[in-house]
């Protein structure tokens, strides 16, 4: 197999082909290379090529981040000043670090290793998005990470610490403090009472359970979940399997095949959540008593994507 060699220079090279002058310009991938050794276009080793590509991608990201941070604020003219005074216009662009600083979903995972993995995946996804190169393969990961972010938001609304919340030994504070003082605990932990969709039900205050289910903004789902725990001998309900389907950060399963809840809107608003078809097929009994509510929110988001409405 002939050996591929790099050009010594990345400047324009003119070659004559049948009397026609052809100009060879830099490929987009070569624009960020600062020296010939960083040009991966002629590298046959997959590992070495990936290493060089990652280095250039990081350089592109840093340049874009610096552009965000160093960009001067655009101005607009005040109509009352006769066109002389300029008023700074609010910036709306944010770097991935700025976006990720508001997201706490990775903190819910039970170990430091899983938190690091979840954060690195989230960082990669938003970096790709900021560079206008999102990957379809990231969709399922993004859906799960978005659910975790929504649950972390709801945990804050309820005054429940997010860090390590998914550890097995955690017990819901609604059951620990008892029915008589649970409302006072919420009032003490947050600036105001949480939305009705998140306020604990009588079963939540009666039955000892893990707090992750407290973060789902559907009271009937929470009650059906707890009832299934009480009747495990009859239902064979596997809480860990449900938690895995909704919250586990993993690669490989296409998003249209995994039983998912999808968050599109405000985390505490039931209308912001959609149940996927695989979720309804596998866990449909969980929505008994709130079918109309789930159906309304699910169909709302399906219609926005141009998909057919569901009917139970």
Q: Which residue's structure tokens are 């600062």?
A: 34
DSSP percent split of the chain into helix, strand, coil, nearest 5: 55, 5, 40
Quick one: which of 37, 32, 34 has its CA closest to 60? 32
Quick one: which of 312, 279, 272 has its CA closest to 295? 312
The two tokens of residue 87 are 């008023």
> Looking at residue 269, what is its pLDDT?
96
Q: What is the DSSP letter of 205?
A: H
> Looking at residue 161, what is its pLDDT?
80
Quick one: which of 115, 219, 223 has its CA closest to 163? 115
> Looking at residue 74, what is its pLDDT?
40
Q: 14: burial class by Cβ within 10 Å (0-12, 13-18, 19+)?
A: exposed
Q: Is the pTM of this model over 0.75?
A: no
Torsion angle, alpha carbons of 238, 243, 246, 251, to 10: -100
105, 145 in Cβ contact below 8 A?
yes
Helix (H, G, I), strand (E, B) or coil at 240: helix
> Looking at residue 70, what is its pLDDT?
52
> Looking at residue 159, what is its pLDDT?
86
The two tokens of residue 214 are 């407290």
Which residues have C-beta within 8 Å of that of residue 45, sequence separation ≥ 6? none
Q: 297: burial class by Cβ within 10 Å (0-12, 13-18, 19+)?
A: buried
Q: 2: burial class by Cβ within 10 Å (0-12, 13-18, 19+)?
A: exposed
CA–CA distance, 146 with 141 (Å, rounded to integer): 8
For the chain, state the CA radius of gyration.
Answer: 26
Question: pLDDT in tens for each of the 312 residues of the chain?
Answer: 444 444 444 344 344 434 444 444 444 445 556 666 666 566 666 666 666 666 655 665 556 555 544 544 443 333 333 433 332 333 345 554 444 444 566 566 655 666 666 667 766 766 766 667 666 666 777 788 888 889 888 988 898 887 767 677 788 888 765 444 444 444 454 446 889 999 999 999 999 998 999 999 999 999 999 999 988 878 788 888 998 888 776 665 565 678 989 999 999 999 999 999 999 999 999 999 999 999 999 999 999 999 999 987
Q: Which residue's structure tokens are 């310009």?
A: 25
> Looking at residue 253, what is its pLDDT?
59
> Looking at residue 169, what is its pLDDT?
79
């Amino acid at each position: 197999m002939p050996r591929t060699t790099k050009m010594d220079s990345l400047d324009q090279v003119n070659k004559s082909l049948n009397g026609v002058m052809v100009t060879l310009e830099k490929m987009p991938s070569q624009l960020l290379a600062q020296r010939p050794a960083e040009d991966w276009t002629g590298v046959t080793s997959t590992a070495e090529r990936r290493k060089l590509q990652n280095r250039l991608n990081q350089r592109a990201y840093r340049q874009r981040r610096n552009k965000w941070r160093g960009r001067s604020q655009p101005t607009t003219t005040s109509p009352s000043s006769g066109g002389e005074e300029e008023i700074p216009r609010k910036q709306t662009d944010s770097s991935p670090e700025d976006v990720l600083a508001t997201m706490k979903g990775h903190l819910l995972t039970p170990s430091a290793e899983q938190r690091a993995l979840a954060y690195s995946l989230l960082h990669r996804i938003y970096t790709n998005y900021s560079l206008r190169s999102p990957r379809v393969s990231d969709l399922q990961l993004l859906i799960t990470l978005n659910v975790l972010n929504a649950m972390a938001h709801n945990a804050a609304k309820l005054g429940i610490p997010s860090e390590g919340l998914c550890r097995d030994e955690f017990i819901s504070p609604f059951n620990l403090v008892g029915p008589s003082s649970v409302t006072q605990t919420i009032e003490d932990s947050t600036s105001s009472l949480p939305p009705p969709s998140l306020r604990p039900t009588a079963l939540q205050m009666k039955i000892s359970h893990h707090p992750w289910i407290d973060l789902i903004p559907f009271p009937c789902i929470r009650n059906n979940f707890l009832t299934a725990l009480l009747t495990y001998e009859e239902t064979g309900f596997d809480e860990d399997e449900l938690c895995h389907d909704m919250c586990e950060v993993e690669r490989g399963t296409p998003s249209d095949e995994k039983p998912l809840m999808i968050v599109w809107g405000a985390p505490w608003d039931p209308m912001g959540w959609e149940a996927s078809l695989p979720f309804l097929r596998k866990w449909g009994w969980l929505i008994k008593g709130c079918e109309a509510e789930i159906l309304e929110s699910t169909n709302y988001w399906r219609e926005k994507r141009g998909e057919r409405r569901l009917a139970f």
